[in-house]
Amino acid sequence: MDNQFTNAERAEVLTAALPYIKKYNGKTVVIKYGGNAMINEQLKQQVMEDIVLLWLIGVKVVLVHGGGPEISETMKKLGKQAVFLDGLRVTDKETVDIVQMVLAGKINKTLVNLIQMKGGHAVGISGIDGGIIEAKMKNEALGYVGEITKVRTQPITDLLEKNYIPVVSTVASDRQGNTYNINGDTAAAFLAGALGAERLIMMTDIAGILMDKDDPSTLIGNITVSEARKLYENNVISGGMIPKVDCCIEALEHGVNNVVIMDGRIPHSILMELLTDEGAGTMVMKG
């Protein structure tokens, strides 16, 4: 692999990235990490490398993660059946304990460890820590699935100022001490908005927004909020893509400059998006 490029070609690649390095140096970028990039070991390693590289060039990276498949797997091992209603996990008291254990414990600390193995400095926190995310019950039928009522960014900005990469698991609490499972995309959108992030990157298992969901060549590179709403009406944006685009709009309305729905299955897609002309996925803009 190392022999594929001459030193001159390597230097050219770095020079081409310079305008983007300048653009994002000192800026906050929130990455919602999920999908296949979280399950495939090789992709996981590459995502951590991308994050550490961005951190080394002065980007303030905040990593927000879920972990649905691992929660379901742990529930199965404990003899508990996962139940979903309208795509959301029905979360009783026992399930929310499992969610907290898996998200704020195992997954969160594994990611912190990986970042540090790559040479970065990371601190793992949950939405409960420092009251970062307050929530209330979204719907009694869903149980302890939370709707965000308040975001407090101080613990995250403190970590960023001390040059740490905050790794945030999406569990939250209310003032009565109840714990809630929060949708990862929603949490990332709220946090990115509250932090005034330069960019929110939503990693998914699809190429981005497609005019024809079965044809990756129909990828829409850029889209405004009003154009996205028209695609809702025409059923181009449908199914599982609706809540994802809703989260993009939510983030933009709360102060994020732009949001990218990105194919996390592509190696080093984060660097492609931030440090090249090409980008990766669909950029959603206010417009």
Q: Which of 244, 263, 264, 281 is catalytic?
A: 244
Q: Which of 34, 35, 67, 184 is catalytic?
A: 35
Q: Which of 32, 60, 118, 138 is catalytic?
A: 32
HSE on the CB side for 259, CA within 13 Å? 35
Residue 263 annotated as catalytic:
no
Residue 244 annotated as catalytic:
yes
Q: Distance (Å, rounded) from C-alpha 248 to C-alpha 185?
A: 9
Residue 35 annotated as catalytic:
yes
Q: Distance (Å, rounded) from C-alpha 172 to C-alpha 182?
A: 7
Q: Which of 146, 185, 264, 281 is catalytic?
A: 185
Residue where the block lists tokens 């714990």: 179
Q: Which of 67, 68, 124, 184 is catalytic?
A: 68
Residue 185 annotated as catalytic:
yes
- Just list the catalytic residues: 32, 35, 68, 185, 244
